[in-house]
Amino acid sequence: MAIDSSGADRSTTIEVPGAHLYYEARGAGPLLLLIPGGPQDAGVFTDLAGELAHSYTVVSYDPRGNSRSPLTGEWTDQDVDLHADDAARLITAVGMGPAHVLGTSGGGQIGLSLAARHPESVRSLLAHEPACALMLDDPSEALAADHAVYDTYLRHGVDAAMAKFFRDNALDDPDSGETATATATEGEEEGEQEPDALSAEDVATFERIAGNFEYFLAHGLLPLSTYQPDVARLRNGPVPVVVGLGEDSQGQLIDEIGRALAAALDVTPVIFPGDHVGYGPHAAEFARVVERVLAESTHPA
């Protein structure tokens, strides 16, 4: 189903094998697909999409199994390549491809698989802090941390496991004594916004994503942690790939991972405002960097 030529905001779903995919679109211009990571959904990109909609037809979606994209069968372990196939089907359904693609964290992994396996669907890829731990010379510590989170889930449940996950990944303030709702959804940073200042849309997003935590812990965390991008295909393929790093992520494991990937791809990382979730609290500044990166891409439409 093509985007309305007026560029009016709208949302709908498409059917893919084993799931229904919810997506929303805004703006007009070349197609820009935003892919969230982990338990996230399209709601985390609301502010960023609004900033970019004056130049692009911005499409964001809930990956299969998350929020408004229910599976049609039982829960199974997540597969990055299957997520990438979904993204390619979505681009085809929208009917404006090839698309510029921005994926963050686990969404960056999906973008890397999409560019490698469906290059005809991708005009350019911006992978923001993709969680590709196997790019490290020694990924054992990173993988052990994920296994520890999974073990916490089995022993103590969802809340304890997610609290550990956020602490381990510097997504929570250990001195605050509690996990902020915004941080707990990877949508905002602790202290950026007081809970009583959250919009109704923010609250709805946080509630949806919290409902995805168990699926992420049970069937996403470990399978996704062992994804290794096809570096040779990406280096030799037609899709320009940019690796984005948060300026406030320096010294963190996710920054080391991103730099290892960039070195393997022989590209220079691009620095973005904020940290792993900088697209939320720094949406306007983040969008300006996205626009610059996309303007420099050379893959033909």
Q: Using one digit for the tens of pLDDT, what is the confidence trace for 162-208?
A: 999 999 988 864 332 223 333 444 433 333 444 456 778 889 999 99
CB 166 within 8 A of CB 238: no
Average pLDDT of the residues of the chain: 89
Q: Work out the average pLDDT over 233-243.
A: 97
Per-residue pLDDT reduced to its tens digit, 35-85: 999 999 999 999 999 999 999 999 999 999 999 999 999 999 999 999 999
Report pLDDT for 197.
66
Return the sign of the alpha-carbon dihedral for residues 179, 184, 189, 191: negative
Domains and CATH numbers, the chain: 10-138+226-295 (3.40.50.1820), 140-221 (no CATH)
pLDDT of 192: 43
Contact between 47 and 187 (Cβ < 8 Å): no
Instruction: Return the structure tokens found at 114.
Output: 């999409």
pLDDT value, residue 299: 47
Across 14-28, average pLDDT: 96
What are 98-148's pLDDT values in tens digits?
Answer: 999 999 999 999 999 999 999 999 999 999 999 999 999 999 999 999 999
Spatial separation of the C-alpha atoms in residues 269 and 251, rounded to whole Å: 15
Q: In angstroms, rounded to a whole number, what is the distance separating the alpha carbons of residues 26 and 53?
A: 6
Sheet holding 122-128, edge to edge: 10-16, 19-26, 57-61, 31-35, 99-104, 122-128, 241-246, 270-272
Residues of the chain above pLDDT 70, percent: 87
Question: What's the length of the chain?
Answer: 301
Compute the average pLDDT of residues 250-275: 97
Residue 14 has pLDDT above 90, yes or no: yes
Is 253 a residue whose pLDDT tops 70?
A: yes
